[in-house]
Structure 1
Amino acid sequence: MLVSTDRILSALVETLQMVTISFVFSILLGIPLGVLLYVTRNGGILEEKITFTILSFVINILRSIPFIILLVAIIPFTRLIVGSSIGTAAAIVPMVVYAGPYVARLVESSLLEVDDGVLEAADAMGATPLQTIFRFVIPEALGSLILNFTIATIGLVGASAMAGTVGGGGIGDLAITYGYQRFDGMTMLVTVVILVVLVQGLQSLGNGLSRIVRRK
């Protein structure tokens, strides 16, 4: 038997809250890390092999841990931050830890796509390293960054669904509690449809924004 519309809407709102807040904090964490990876790598603007090696190693470790394992492994840290390991707020902490390093790699990848001619132009104009990054490289990579941020957001939607398996709330929790545990096939179908529509909408929005930026 399908759960009430209010329960479905409440779960959708929880999912949107988790994804939005996690995305904001992941961006705040991932962009500086991604820029640091870009500038300190071999041949980078501020080449520093030790910094790059250590940072890259730590990011690779965090990215190698499946989200469902990370979710459980950092429960003490989650409790320290939000005072609980259950609920929407508690799910946000591991989602940020999961997505932040991923965003960093996506940012690094986008910046590496920028043509060397842009760097040469910045150097010819006497730009400082900071000016080169924020006035030349990032604006040039903006279209690619938007697409990669879209990928990260969709990944967070999937992570929010997995968080439901341990009481994280949202669509995932609805699917597990009502769809799976109560053998409610209709509720399970509805949750799947909602997630598919949400992902398709995010991808279309990201593609559209990227196209607009690239034209400008």
Structure 2
Amino acid sequence: MIRGHNADVGHSRRAAGERTRRAGKEGIVLTVSEMIDDILRREGGFVDHPADRGGPTKFGITQQTLTAYIGRVALRGEVEALGEDVARDIYERNYFFGPRIDRLPAPIQPFVFDCAVNHGPRQAVKFVQRVCNHARYQPPLSEDGAMGPNTRKAAEWAQAIMGDVFLEALIEERKNFYHLIVAARPSQQVFLAGWLNRAAEFEEAVA
């Protein structure tokens, strides 16, 4: 589900980065609405980049995602006219509560939520499972992208023993994933710098 589009990182990264930094340093738990605020800043408005495999996109919502949400084929014009309120509802229902991101430890929720939006919920959960396995969680998790009780328990364990290093390891997994995408599809190289900037924003929470 990963999309090539990534909004200009200047103002967006400063605004969202400050919130991320405060949350990390002061132990502030962000609300779902605040997390979505940050995602909307990262995603920006309507785009239809020729190299973007997601096609027409607004607020990060692709034509395919909108089609699934409304239950029929969404037209390009409907994507372009998409309201922010609808985008927020899609993110909250299908990318936060639907895949049970709310069951994860609070310090990693904003990052995993952003991964779910950018890569799809299953890939986001796979990042968590992979890091827990690398940390030698027992018994090892199936890296299937399903947020079951074992994955939630493993994430709580990793947060408790690793602290900020848990988030740092998740960020590295995401960066590696971006590089694998470009290696498999060189046409996506044009998006790599923006993708890496998006991941790096979360490093400010643990810097």
- Structure of greater relative contact order (alpha carbons < 8 Å, 6+ residues apart): 1
TM-score, length-scaled by structure 1: 0.29
Structure ranking higher in helix proportion: 1
TM-score, length-scaled by structure 2: 0.30
